[in-house]
Amino acid sequence: MAEFLPEHLKKYIVTQNYEKYTAADQAVWRYILRQLKFYLSTHAHESYLEGLEKTGIDIEQIPQIENVSAKLEKFGWRALPVSGFIPPAAFMELQSLGVLPIASDMRSIDHLLYTPAPDIVHEAAGHAPILANKEYAAYLKQYAQVAKKAILSKQDLDLYKSIRELSDIKENPNSTSDEIQHAENNLKAVTKKITFTSEASELSRMNWWTAEYGLIGDIKAPKIFGAGLLSSVGESKWCLSEQVKKIPLSINCVKQSYDITEPQPQLYVAENFQHLSQVLNEFSKTMAYNVGGVKSLDKLIQAETVNTVELDNTFQISGALKKYYLDSENKISYLQFNGPTQLNYKNKQI
């Protein structure tokens, strides 16, 4: 199924072992989907119910991902099973290729209303149906293309590892309270060490407040389209209450952090799906790959990760930038990298 993927992405693809789903798993799926379909028939964007049918999501049984993929191919997408959280960069690259990664795990009965870890309810019943809307699907691919160019920092990678650990431990029914507390303390410690917000972090926030927890339409009576809300019996109801602050979607959403393990106290409302692309385009103009120059090099040094610098003559240097020097005219005259460095010309290694 994943033969068309680049080699570095194939390692994240797993096999959906359908026989592993127990009768209890199937019962949890039926309960959640019945509750969601009843409530969301009037509170979700109109594309949701239509999308459930078009993507073959049956409320009576956990879907087979290959069947969902066959339905999505009609909209220019595919679905492939993955194991829980995968690195953000890999997730974005898969989406840019028109692949919806679906975590094949099923949430436990203890997490009926909300799950701290990605599962097949969230991915299949949350993300897949809205892809049937052409405008939204186009935005998601556009977002993934932009996100691929964002500067990811070493601090981002440390945070991702801590969040994944906490999410996995909370979802595991065999985890002890001490293990959960240790993981929570570790996440707090890693979070405290973060000294700046990278482009990748800002874009992850935009994704969170749109594709995951987005509302759409009239701000006084919005509809749900974010997958995190569409797949949560608890939050789909909570999010529309007066207890949750509704904010018009703007580029400022990238300044608002979030807690992946807790319900959100505020949400952003897009006017329509075209509005998502407008905000994304506005943000992309501020990114290093568009701005260039010293300001962008400073971002690379701060990130401490491997990135690519393109020179005026279209030569490209990939590596971890350490420092640069300016000449008497304040033009960049020297670049120094840490560790292995790759030279390219027009995206091809020399």
Q: What percent of the chain has pLDDT over 90?
A: 69
Token readout for 44 is: 């979700």
If we measure between CA atoms, which residue out of 199, 107, 220 comes closest to residue 153? 199
pLDDT in tens, 31-68: 999 999 999 999 999 999 999 999 989 999 999 999 99
173 and 123 Cβ atoms separated by less than 8 Å? no
Q: Which residues pair with 13 in a beta bridge?
A: 82
Q: Tokens 């692309």 sit at which residue?
A: 277
162 and 210 Cβ atoms separated by less than 8 Å? no
pLDDT score of 153 = 93
Residue 97 has pLDDT above 70, yes or no: yes
Tell me the mean pLDDT in the region 158-180: 84
Residue 117 has pLDDT above 80, yes or no: no
Residue 350 has pLDDT above 90, yes or no: no
Residue 291 DSSP SS3: helix
Distance CA 31, CA 21 (A): 15
pLDDT in tens, 221-265: 999 999 999 998 888 999 999 999 999 999 999 999 887 767 889
Distance CA 3, CA 165 (A): 29
If we measure between CA atoms, which residue out of 234, 239, 238 comes closest to residue 268? 239
pLDDT score of 5 = 86
Residue 313 has pLDDT above 90, yes or no: no
Whether the CA torsion 229, 157, 169, 57 is positive or negative: it is positive
Residue 197 DSSP SS3: coil
Whether the CA torsion 131, 136, 141, 146 is positive or negative: it is negative
Residue 214 has pLDDT above 70, yes or no: yes
Backbone angles phi, psi at 64, to 5 degrees: -85, 125
Token readout for 303 is: 């990130």
CA dist 335 to 3, 289, 296, 328, 341, Å?
38, 17, 13, 16, 11
pLDDT in tens, 171-203: 777 889 899 999 889 988 988 888 999 999 999
Give per-residue burial for 119-154: e unless 16+ CB within 10 Å, then b: bbbbbbbbbbbbbbbeebbebbbbbbebbebbbbbe
pLDDT score of 116 = 64
pLDDT score of 250 = 98
Residue 74 has pLDDT above 80, yes or no: yes
**The model's pTM:** 0.86
pLDDT score of 201 = 92
pLDDT score of 261 = 67
If we measure between CA atoms, which residue out of 292, 336, 12, 6 comes closest to residue 151? 292
Kindly report which listed range (184-188, 283-287, 302-306) carries the lowest average pLDDT score.
184-188
Distance CA 164, CA 159 (A): 9
78 and 67 Cβ atoms separated by less than 8 Å? no
Distance CA 74, CA 78 (A): 9
pLDDT score of 151 = 94
Query: Who wins on pLDDT, 230 or 163?
Result: 230
